[in-house]
Amino acid sequence: MKKVFISNILIVLILFMSQGMQSQIASPDEIRFYTEEWNGERFPDGRPKVSKDLLERLIKISIEEAWAVLSNEEFHNQFEGNWKMIHENQPFVGQALTTVYFPRRPDYSDRLLEKGHSEGMIGASNSWPIDMLQEGDVYVADCFGKVIDGTLIGDNLGNAIYSNSKTGVIFDGGSRDLEGLEDIDGFNAYVRGWDPSFLQETMLMGINVPIRIGRATVFPGDVVLAKREGVIFIPPHKLEQVVISAEFVMLKDKFGHLRLREGTYTPGQIDGRWSDEIKQDFLKWVDENPDMIPMSREDLDEFLKGRTW
């Protein structure tokens, strides 16, 4: 087993040296290695492709509910807070297209720009990830927390991003043109700060590679849930579990709050481990209120098989 693991690491290193370092863009094979727990459909670039239904349901879930599920699964490094955003009350979801920037070295940076242009890339390198975005993507960039001269986008690139993705951006760096970005209906940005300066002394080092956003590790294709508290990055193979577990907790809370208002049970009974009587009352309430169930009844029944309440 150890030899197999070392062999896999060597294969990825060879791929990275032979392809990723030259092109800056992770190959589909590299992305599959990062995300090999995912068994479903993938985008052409290799990133996992989750269902739109789960994404639509995810936006109704709180950061705390998603965090609790991931924490129980030992994913402790998926949240980052303390953002400045355009709209505090405009959450969004999507899948990460990751990018990492380094402080500039003129020898390598100039060579990279020339190579990119020779391969058909257009403009400055910070526009290249934007050209790759498709609907539902979230542009997630590690710009080492740089704000002054670290403004990855202004209103021109913001319009291009929203035109391609219909979501927003997460930048461990800065942005400019706040007033112009505010005018893009539906767009939101989570950044470290706003500054009128232009992007300087940075260079692109990777697209669709694992990155660090504050204390969170983000892989290409991770599911992004951006809310007022901050941003949580959900591994795609854990998304369904996160959504259904959180939906069950919300459903259970609705029932509990109703019965408390009615005076049917005491707070101690609802907050503690439920008795068989309360469990049966809950299941009967679910049967009588099918419109309250955010998931299918089949999914709920399957989930309850492993539930200890």
Domain ranges of the chain: 7-235, 240-305
Mean pLDDT of 107-134: 92
Q: Cβ distance 166 to 95 under 8 Å?
A: no
pLDDT score, position 267:
97
Mean pLDDT of 281-296: 93
pLDDT score, position 306:
81
Q: How confident is the model at residue 288 (pLDDT cuts 50, 70, 90)?
A: very high
More confident of the two residues 62 and 8: 62
**E-assigned strand segments in the chain:** 79-80, 84-85, 92-103, 137-151, 168-175, 188-191, 193-194, 202-207, 211-213, 216-218, 223-227, 230-234
| Tokens found for residue 237 | 């193979």
pLDDT above 80: residue 225 = yes
Q: Cβ distance 144 to 151 under 8 Å?
A: no
pLDDT above 70: residue 7 = no
pLDDT above 70: residue 5 = no
The per-residue pLDDT of the chain, averaged, comes to 92
pLDDT above 80: residue 21 = no
Range scoring the smallest mean pLDDT among 38-42, 110-114, 157-161: 110-114
Mean pLDDT of 179-196: 98
d(CA 173, CA 175): 7
pLDDT above 60: residue 18 = no
Q: Which of 201, 189, 13 is nearest to 109 (CA)?
A: 201
170 forms beta bridges with 140, 190
pLDDT score, position 12:
40
Mean pLDDT of 134-157: 98
pLDDT above 60: residue 6 = no
Let me know how long the chain is. 309
| Sequence-separated contacts (24+) of 101-104 with Cβ below 8 Å | 101/126, 101/141, 101/142, 101/143, 101/144, 101/152, 101/173, 101/202, 101/203, 101/204, 101/205, 102/144, 102/202, 102/203, 102/205, 103/144, 103/201, 103/202, 103/203, 104/200, 104/201, 104/202, 104/203
Q: pLDDT > 70: what percent of the chain?
A: 93
Secondary-structure class of domain 7-235 per CATH = alpha beta
